[in-house]
Amino acid sequence: MSESHCYQPVLTQAPLKLIDESGNLQQGLFDGSVAELNLPAFRLHSVLDKPVSRLTRHFGYKQFQFVCISGPGWLLAVAIADVRYVCSGFVYLYQQGKPAREFALLAPLGFGCLTSESPQRGVAKMGKGAKHWQIQSAASGWTLTVKVPGLAAEVQLDFDQQQPLALAAPTGYNGWTYTEKNNALRVSGSLLLDGQPLDLTKARGGIDFSAGFMRRETSWRWSSINTLLDGVPFGLNLAAGVNETGLCENALWYDGNIQHLSPARFEFDRGQATPWRIRTLCGEVDLTFEADFCRQEKLQLGLLASNFRQYAGLYSGTLRLRSGKVLQLQHCLGLAEDHYAKW
């Protein structure tokens, strides 16, 4: 069997509810989105099999939603993360050769922050007035609204029936994580920088919905691309450190079709921003990443700690499709992330 065929996971039909009526997680790599998490039904127990208090249950749940839109020479990233003790969010617009525009908000105990419990319906939002951002979820796609000084967006990301990466896996001893990602999405609407429109005709977008009862202390490395390769939509999602209880959240999208990828290895020097080397176990992916901008945050807030670095930069290298076709990336704009969290 060739390297490009060594990893072919069997997909499970997406359940109507992630937690069944008996309180159990429906786990697997799914063939579609899961519309309802059904959180109230989940039976959370301590490591000694005792039901936990409502307060422990409340603070044990974490969720974040993320949108990235990438065009020729620029990239917009928007995040909303609710870790119960605090809700945090950021917006930045990166442009090659120019200073980035960055905005961030913190909401203690989540006041002024809202997240959606479904990737297919609901609203996630943060801030108000002259500085706010919002993600409206629907089965057909997400709508991103941003209003911050000098930057305004009203952008639709359309799923166009493209299959997402949807994964539910046990986390730690008694938790679970559900993540749903969809890259290389068609975008439309408006994105204004200092009142001037950025061209969306050659832009592509990606979404990330992740939620669950995650490890108290965790870390991950992550890679994401949304672009056009010779006019063909291409997206990539690679991660290491989470969602690896027999499954991994790695995939590429090419011309509207998803290909699941084998586990990924990230090699880099944490003391230096760049370069990175990213490869997969079965050889489908072999990339280098050169960082140009870093959105970073180091927090120590009592019980909480975070060491977060998200880089915008350029990818080069090769990706092998299951058909045998090799895609060549040359200075392709994308994201890379290195994150430690204690929450």
Model confidence at 4: pLDDT above 90: no
The fraction of the chain above a pLDDT of 90, given in percent, is 90
The pTM is what? 0.96
Q: Is residue 4 part of a domain?
A: no
Q: Is residue 69 part of a domain?
A: yes
Distance CA 301, CA 7 (A): 41
Domain ranges, residue 259 = 11-342
The model's pLDDT over 205-226, given as tens digits with 9 standing for 90+, comes to 999 999 999 999 999 999 999 9
Q: Is residue 328 part of a domain?
A: yes
Model confidence at 19: pLDDT above 70: yes
Q: Is residue 5 part of a domain?
A: no
Model confidence at 37: pLDDT above 80: yes
Q: Is residue 2 part of a domain?
A: no
Label residue 1 by pLDDT band (50, 70, 90): very low
Computed over every residue of the chain, the mean pLDDT equals 95
Q: Is residue 321 part of a domain?
A: yes
Mean pLDDT across 15-35: 97
- How many distinct structural domains can be found in the chain? 1
The model's pLDDT over 58-76, given as tens digits with 9 standing for 90+, comes to 999 999 999 999 999 999 9
Between residues 243 and 84, the one the model is more confident about: 84
Q: Is residue 1 part of a domain?
A: no
- Cβ neighbourhood burial of 12 (10 Å; 0-12, 13-18, 19+): middle
Structure tokens, 2: 């060739």
DSSP 96: T
Q: Is residue 6 part of a domain?
A: no
- What's the pLDDT score for residue 5? 62
The model's pLDDT over 285-331, given as tens digits with 9 standing for 90+, comes to 999 999 999 999 998 888 889 999 999 999 999 999 999 999 999 99
Q: Is 246 helix (H, G, I), strand (E, B) or coil?
A: coil
Distance CA 163, CA 158 (A): 12
The whole-angstrom distance between residue 15's C-alpha and the CA centroid of its chain comes to 21
